Structure 1
Amino acid sequence: MTISAAPLITQSAPLQILHITDTHLFAQRDARLLGITTYDSLRAVLAEAVADPPQAVLATGDLAQDGTAAAYEHLTELLSDFAQNCPSPPPVYWLPGNHDEPEVMRATLTRAPLCPVQEVTIEGWYVVLLDSTIPGQVGGALSEAELQRLEAGLASHPQCPALVCLHHNPVATDARWMDAIGLANADAFFAVLDRHANVRGVVWGHIHQEVDQERNGARLLASPSTCIQFRPKTDTFGLDQRAPGYRRLWLYPDGRLETQVFRVTNFTGCADVNATGY
């Protein structure tokens, strides 16, 4: 990915960010993933989230299940409708996941509110979006170039509290089968973070469940998927019937970070709990 300059956005405090992840859209709007029509579940998430409009949106990968341009067009359509229903249309910053096709994303996710940038400074916060994908693999790792970009970005914004975004989980999860397909070089990732005291949060997707931990003053946060949810506390693949979800983050100028996960209440789809994989 080519490096883009960090545009400057000015907002009042606290800055509210909507985190959505693992939307798994298909070329066909009515296609299902293990029983869930992913277009409809994302639409339900956005319909509830618009009641408290954010100033920005983070979409952290696996945005398409089939990697097609049509799937990314559906994403643009849904997010455009969402943005138009907000008093001030929020920009949407995105990064790829293992189910995505990064080249197709870069060619498709270019129209507002989608913003094809790798970093952004928002009301004093430095937000960096990383590509943790490995072509042809489910698990992830940060390339040396991405680690160097992260290092340089954090070093160049020492006075800004920083939020670091990626797709693959850098810590172990309750769904232990996911640990083998998480971030393979998490130690190298955290070594970079540990050299920069301004890191206040790390957010990711991939694991389709909620994580909220703290490490060296930084919140480590995974968010539920907008479609299917993985069953926690298991060694093997499994789904549960928790509703599609999303996370809100409130970022304060002094570096404080507050957050809460929400589950939709107006979606009636049911995941196939007998599924053994996908």
Structure 2
Amino acid sequence: MVSLILFNFLFPPPQSMYITAMTVIGFVASAYLGFMEIKGKHLQYSKFFNVGGEKNKLAGKREAQISSKIGMLVLYTPACIAGLSSLIMFPNEGLRFTLVRGALTIHFLKRVLEVLFVHKYSASIDVEDTIIISLSYFSMTATTIYAQTLTKGLQEPSPNLMYPGIAIFVVGIGGNMYHHYLLSTLRSGGEKEYKIPKGGLFNLVICPHYLFEIVGFIGITCIAQTTYAFSFTCGTILYLMGRSYSTRDWYRSKFEDFPKNVKALIPFIF
């Protein structure tokens, strides 16, 4: 019954072993990483990978480090280039295909611009984790675009969620950008210490930027309406749920006055 409901608003799964494999691998990997976040084993590109006093890693000891700003650029730039290149290389492939590529490009271009002009960094990050995450973002972007090409000539899903998806994506990227800006204003001058975020939805959840990132990916899924985009978004939701849970734990461990009513990701619920 669930599969029938899904296939009503998604394009039929393509006869592609690559897309099938990437759909399964992407979902399982994201769900696993989300579970590991909850268990306290974190990818080393954030402030709370050492909750509990020692650096927990997913695999082995890694020592090569680069500055956070350069690392974040490495994370997002390849995916941004992939999206932008697809717009240039395939300019006349239909409205839905153009919107999918445009949304992905905007998503990662926003991240690159935030790294350059919004976020403040004061630490280094692990090189291996940076490369792994960068490749995953690039792979996700390229695979989403490729999966969309395989829908060419197929009957449009019913209902057509492309236009609602645009609105959802705009809300997601706007909310994410706004809360990233609020985070950037926490420190002034040469301050390096962390503070409890305030304003916007930070008064209800500690990770509203993750919440709106999820909304943005839901928008992309509605625009694409492919099984791969749907699967990747579900995996992303699970991962960011785990990551927001860890973030809340980190703030609670650092600040005795952390508000008890502030949830991790979803206001009043989680």
Larger radius of gyration: 2
Structure with higher helix content: 2
Normalising by structure 1, we get a TM-score of 0.29
Normalising by structure 2, we get a TM-score of 0.29
